[in-house]
Structure 1
Amino acid sequence: MTRIDLATSELHELLTPVLPHASTDKERPELGVVRIEARGSVLSAVASDRITLAATRHPADGLDDFALTIDREDAANLLKIFRHTKKTDPQLAIVVEEMPLPTDTGSAYGLGIRIDSETGKRHSLTDLGDPDPIFTKWRSLVAKLLARPAAPASPAVVFSPWATPRWSKAPRKGDYLQVFPGPTSKDPVLVLAGESFIGVWMPAGLRDDMEPQALLAGTPWQADLEGMATADAGDLLAAAYEAPDQVPDPGADRKLLEEAAELVITTQFGSTSMLQRRLRVGFAKAGQLLELLVGFGVVGPAEGSRAREVLVRPDDLPVVLDKIRAGEVTADA
């Protein structure tokens, strides 16, 4: 028996982003499911219709490995049965254990999941049995795409418009939806949102021999804008992203800066979105904190949308905190 303690909101965060990816094709009922797994102290939910695949993760200590498959509609019903609001977020006890199966399955007992809420609600579901092979191989697929060289994408990647809304549920508040095309238009696209969601999108591939200008020539926008003087997009938009001429004085936010330094150094991850989420501050404030940490030699300068390089080892955290408290800026702002 495995017991998992989750808040109701965490159950929603686990299931809601993957549900749009579970197939609704009545001819492929084996894909109209959600796979729930525990491996290495991480709880995951996975869904796919072979055009897109989505997986979420929730770290949870003390889990025994398990995997079970539940019907898509049953997963959606869980979110209707167990609800939360801004004011109330009931705690759930999720138990995965052997339980009696329906009589038409041919087996007396099998793996099942029981959810009890502190509000008194209870619901049980049983494993549907052998899943489609994509659910046993999804980790290998995602691992392959994560290890793929960061090659430039092909000139254009075309997606089916009906699939686009599926990704709207992936980012949590403060997260970005990050899309990584492959080196050709026929390669799978990797989609990430924060630290809790990863997905795969099979594009409707263009022919590799099509030139970018040939594709652009087919759009009426070129005719509409013919003869227009062109503007430098970098100059036009730079003002929105310009760093301030002077790094703000850290004195007013010393405690917050110390917390930011501790998070970045201990996790070895210099991300604006991570600071925004963990410190519960706005995106601008999180970016300002990272710029201040540049001055203290904690992280390197910005490199596009990538996380900052962390320049300090965890063992040196006390030294950095002392410098922040003393206001000893060690790098050029």
Structure 2
Amino acid sequence: MATALPPLALTCGEPAGIGAEIALKAWSERDADGPVFLLIDQPARLARVAEQLGLQVPLATVAAPGEADRALFDEALPVLPVEAPIHGLPGQIDERDAAAVIESITRAVRLTQAGETAAVVTNPIRKQSLKNAGLAHPGHTEFLAELAGGGARSVMMLASPRLRVVPVTVHVPLAEVPRLLTEDEIVAVATATARALTSDFGIGAPRLAVLGLNPHAGEGGLLGTEEAAVIAPAVARLRAAGLDAFGPLPPDASFHAAARGRYDAAICMYHDQALLPLKTLDFDEGVNVTLNLPFVRTSPDHGTAIDIAGTGRANPQSLLSALGLAAQMAATRRRTVAAA
């Protein structure tokens, strides 16, 4: 009989955003057999948000993840309190709240590394607040890699029921992409993707579509040289290593239904090449996944939405998808490790 997973660790996210609202709604709209999760946040703040939005969500303060079992979760949303104060309200940014946001992320990672929680699920953060507080990372992905230790090279995947995409370059200006796009980077990202598809998604022989950078994948050099000089040699190296990788493919013809049926993940050359098709196809069910970490991490595929925070209009579906995928990945990783 399979051992039940520990609870998932859900971080508070930016207090001025919709994190509290979608967490409360995710508990309210949970399936009876959905994953158990605990929220690392401030119980008093959550109670205020619930009252403001008219959400009938009972809260249960816990001292340790082990208290957040199925019986408790069925009755109330478990909350593991943060020690740092939270000053801001939904829709009202308070830069002092960066300390609580960082604490919530750090504790979620440490608990998951210790096996007390099954995976890390992060609510959206406001990057500028964390930067102002001295955090030297452009976003969650890079901060999580540092917390993981061991020089982990994190890779960002966006996953939904209809598509998985992985950008080689991520949060950089578009003008910098050709310079940063190297054979080694493409090989490293694609290799990490294939490994994760096997260990965390249960795909024994992953198929990787590698996209071109330029229109029509360079049109034989007429519209760009990166395909021949960088991307094609990377694909050849991947195939020589035994991976089912093919390309470079014309990006504009790689995301229709028939094309998506040919691969398990698309390796894209830059941020918007990956995120535009996924958010168009599956905005509400898109999940941000960090690959190549010693723990599972997912997140809703949207931002803090401070403009609608506190209005009751936030949709929890992406968070529900992130929680569900995190539980599936954690269970698959456990089975893969056990089999190995």
Question: TM-score scaled by structure 1?
Answer: 0.23
Greater share of residues in strand: 1
Greater share of residues in helix: 2
Report 1 or 2 for greater relative contact order, CA contacts < 8 Å, sequence distance ≥ 6.
2
Question: TM-score scaled by structure 2?
Answer: 0.22
Q: Which one has a bigger Cα radius of gyration?
A: 1
